[in-house]
Amino acid sequence: IALSQLSRQVEARSGHKRPMLSDLRESGAIEQDADIVSFLYRPEYYKFDTWDDEEQTPCQGQAEFIVAKHRNGGLENIRLKFVDNLAHFSDIDEGYVTVFHSKMNSSADDELDTINKRANPDEAFDGFDDNAAPF
């Protein structure tokens, strides 16, 4: 994994501030060599109240994971929930898993059942011996 800063072109751009491959510093080498290039975009950071889509949906508490380059798969964007005070990203709709098919995850259908299983909090301490020493 390599990290790169965005150039200041994003700040100077009028209209949308959605990052693009050309905004990466030293982008020629990254664009050429990387299998996957992705960005995290938060419109709220740039003082926008809505997404730049046709519906102009509210963007408060949301972010977008942008797949700008994927050598073996699709270029899908994924909306995320963002908790500002924790700097925490998570699925917008909890319990929903997004799997994008590519050469790298051709068996994704087989694994979806395993991924979608969630722990049941009511069963967390089943089989726990209350008399056992805690250390």
- Domain of 68, in residue numbers: 9-93
Q: Report the predicted TM-score, pTM, of the whole model to 2 decimal places.
A: 0.64
pLDDT band at residue 79 using 50, 70 and 90 as cut-offs: very high
Q: Tens digit of pLDDT for each residue in 8-34? A: 888 888 888 899 888 887 767 888 888
Using a 10 angstrom Cβ sphere, with 0-12 exposed, 13-18 middle and 19 or more buried, the burial of residue 48 is middle
Confirm whether 87 is domain-assigned. yes
For residues 113-118, give the mean pLDDT: 51
Provide the number of structural domains found in the chain.
1
- CA distance linking residue 122 with residue 6, whole number of Å: 46
Confirm whether 13 is domain-assigned. yes
Confirm whether 99 is domain-assigned. no
Tokens 């500002």 locate to 84
Confirm whether 119 is domain-assigned. no
Point out the least confidently predicted range of 5-9, 57-61, 114-118, 130-134.
114-118
Confirm whether 82 is domain-assigned. yes
Q: Is the pLDDT of residue 119 over 90?
A: no
The helix/strand/coil state of 44 is: helix
Confirm whether 128 is domain-assigned. no
Confirm whether 120 is domain-assigned. no
Q: How far is CA 126 from CA 10, 45, 114, 131, in A?
A: 53, 44, 21, 14
